[in-house]
Every structure is written in structure tokens, then in C-alpha cells.
Amino acid sequence: PVVLGIESSCDETGVGIVSGGRLLAHAVASSMDEHARFGGVVPEIAARAHLHAFNPVVREALDRAGLRMRDVDAVAVTTGPGLSGALQVGLAGAKTLAYAAGVPLYGVHHLAGHVAADTLEHGPLPDPCMVLIVSGGHTSLLLVRDLVRDPILHLGDTVDDAAGECFDKVARVLGLPYPGGPAIDRAARAGNPCAVAFPRPLTGPRDDPYAFSFSGLKTAAARWAERHRQSGEEIPVADGAASLQEAVADVLTRKALAACRAYEVRTLVVVGGVAANSRVRALAEERCAAARVELRVPPLTLCTDNGAMIAAVGDLLVRAGARPAQLDLSIDPSAPLDRARLHPSPKPA
Ligand code: ATP
Ligand code: MG
Ligand code: FE
């Protein structure tokens, strides 16, 4: 079956087409530039941008795959978590497409999508695997068995900011452009990762081994920048960016590998926008190799939000015989991670 997936939870309108675990094509439009001058995503602007982008992006994905709507066997759509206005636009579009084409519709948890993104490049996930989700809104460690059949064991989360949020906020402090994550990654190339001794939060012997905290790091970076500013010096932005990136990558990979060790899991999957970070990727590779843990990270374009990852979950659901949604399917802007557990019920006779 050919599954068309739609993502609209934040500022990316993404459409992907997947069949039998293989990515046929995908297209993404982003309203990122429209939010830049506000320093963050403005929900109303994002929702309106999805409305404008929806049809062109669907057409582009179909064109790239050399398919038409009549070749599509199922539609999958993100129902949450995300911005409600943005999710509404994607869901309304997905319902319209599914109804018009007379094909089943599946609701997909955005974070299950981030995890499934990796399967499009590296094939089915081994059971079990340790998943580190690091994105703009989440920093979580999950023990995943079968993504669409089994409950997810949720080991830990951030107690305050997500890792991506930390990058975005520190970038502002350093005067780097929006979005901050990629800007810090670029600036860090010319910097010394040991220049500033930023803290490694929650890594003490008595701390929760699977909990994260990044708001203190943000404050530390702001204080460091302020000290330079007050003494009239120019802020060594490259060193600050490299040192911050090092601290984040160190904490993320240290905890992820501790979880692999504790649960005797041989595969670590790192997904979400921050998995695009060059230092996170490099340090994860180094530490996984040393621990003899297999590392899987999706290709850069599938780390940040896209429709291919939603189509990937849809494809798994279809092949697992999951029951499709009805047309009264609704959004769930704060969908808890445990609902990434998507039990397929047998098809009605
Ligand atoms: P969520 O998936 O939790 O709902 P989201 O969808 O907004 O949040 P993603 O699109 O997965 O998040 O990721 C966006 C985040 O990734 C942003 O915070 C961005 O700064 C960060 N990011 C993207 N590229 C990089 C990079 N190279 N280095 C560090 N951070 C990055
Ligand atoms: Mg985004
Ligand atoms: Fe995301």
C-alpha cells in the first residue's frame, strides 16, 4: 500500500509518501522565515502558512513520487502534540483528501513519527531499542519495542527546557540568527569546545540518571555573555557556541548510553531536530563505538519535522492491520508520549 503522510504540528508543512517501509518522495514548506523577526514560532502565522502551503506541498510530493492521488491507499496525519491551529489545518486537509479519495485515515503521534523517520533510511527498528528524542519541545529517553504494537517505556524527560529550546534561547543571547540550533552548530565550527566550562546538569551520582535539565545551561550562557558585555569586550561567540554544544552533547550521550547499559539494549536511536547537530552526532558515534552499541540517526532532512516520518508510521499501522480513524478524528495538542503507543485493533469483519 501507498501511504501519504501529513505533518503540520509546528512551522513545517510536510507531506511524505511511503510504501512498504520505503520513502518514495517528500516535500516540506517552512514558515520559519515569517517567525524570525519574532524570535520564535507565532501560532497564528504558522496556522495560516499551513493553509497556504497545504495544496502545493501535497502536489509537490505526489509529483516527485510520480504518483496521483488515486494511487494513494491511505492517508496519515499528525494529531499531536503541537500547536492547535497548526494541527487543525493539517487534519482538515488530511480528512478532505482521505474522504475524496475514499481511502482510510490514520492519526499519528508526532513523536512516533520522529522515531519512525529512522526506519526510512535504516530499515525496521530492532526490538528493543533505546530512543533519545531531542527536539524543540522534547528531550526524552524511551525504551521502544514494537513502535505500533507495544507500550513505550518512558524512562525520563527534561524537567524544564528541551535541548532544542536551550540552543534556540542561547543563540538569542549570543546574537545569532533564528532558528538557533543550526546557527550554534555553524558558529561552533570556529570555536573551542573547552573554552567555557559550562555545567553538566543532573549528572551527579544522586541525580535521576534519565532526567535532563537545560534551563540552568541557558542561564549560565547568559551570565557568561553578560560578563563579557559589561567588561566591554566582544563576546567570543564561536567559543561560547562550541562550549554550549559540547555540554549539551555530553549530557545527552552520557545519559543515553547509561540507559543502554542499564537496560542491556544494543541499539541507540537518536531522533528529532537536535539529532541534526554535528557534535551530538559525532559524540554519539564515538561513545556508541566504545560501548559496542549500534547507533542509528536519521539523515539530516528527516531529523527536523517532515511528512515522510508521519507516512512511515501510517505505513507501519496499515501493515499491522490497525483500525483506521473515523472522520471525527480530532487533534490532541498535548498528546502524552504514552499515547505514542498505538495499539492496532483488528480490522472489523
Ligand atoms: P517537537 O518535535 O518536540 O514537537 P519541534 O517539532 O519544534 O518540537 P523539531 O522540528 O524536531 O522540533 O526540531 C527543531 C529543533 O531542533 C529546534 O530547536 C532547532 O533549533 C533544533 N535544531 C535543528 N538543527 C539543529 C542543529 N544542527 N543543532 C542543534 N539544534 C538543531
Ligand atoms: Mg520546526
Ligand atoms: Fe518535531
pLDDT digits (tens, 9 = 90+) for 134-170: 999 999 999 999 999 888 899 999 999 999 999 999 9
Alpha-carbon distances of 73 from 67, 78, 174, 205, 317, rounded to whole Å = 12, 17, 48, 52, 13
What whole-number percentage of the chain has pLDDT above 90? 92
Distance 135 CA to ligand 1 centre (A): 4
Distance 68 CA to ligand 3 centre (A): 27
Please tell me whether 185 is known to bind a ligand.
Answer: yes
Q: Is the peptide bond before 201 cis (omega within 30 degrees of 0)?
A: no
CA distance 147 to 115: 8
The closest-lying atom of ligand 1 relative to the alpha carbon of residue 171 is: 20
pLDDT tens track for 31-53: 999 998 888 899 999 999 999 99
Structure confidence at residue 347 (pLDDT): 43
Structure confidence at residue 348 (pLDDT): 41
CA distance 114 to 133: 8
Structure confidence at residue 37 (pLDDT): 87
CA distance 122 to 33: 32
Say what the pTM is: 0.94
Distance 9 CA to ligand 3 centre (A): 8
Average pLDDT, the chain: 95
Cα atoms in the 13 Å half-sphere on the side-chain side of 170:
38
Q: 324 CB less than 6 Å from ligand 1?
A: no
Residue 294, C-alpha cell as written in the block: 549500534
Structure confidence at residue 178 (pLDDT): 87
CA distance 106 to 10: 19
Atom 1 of ligand 1 has which residue's CA nearest to it?
137
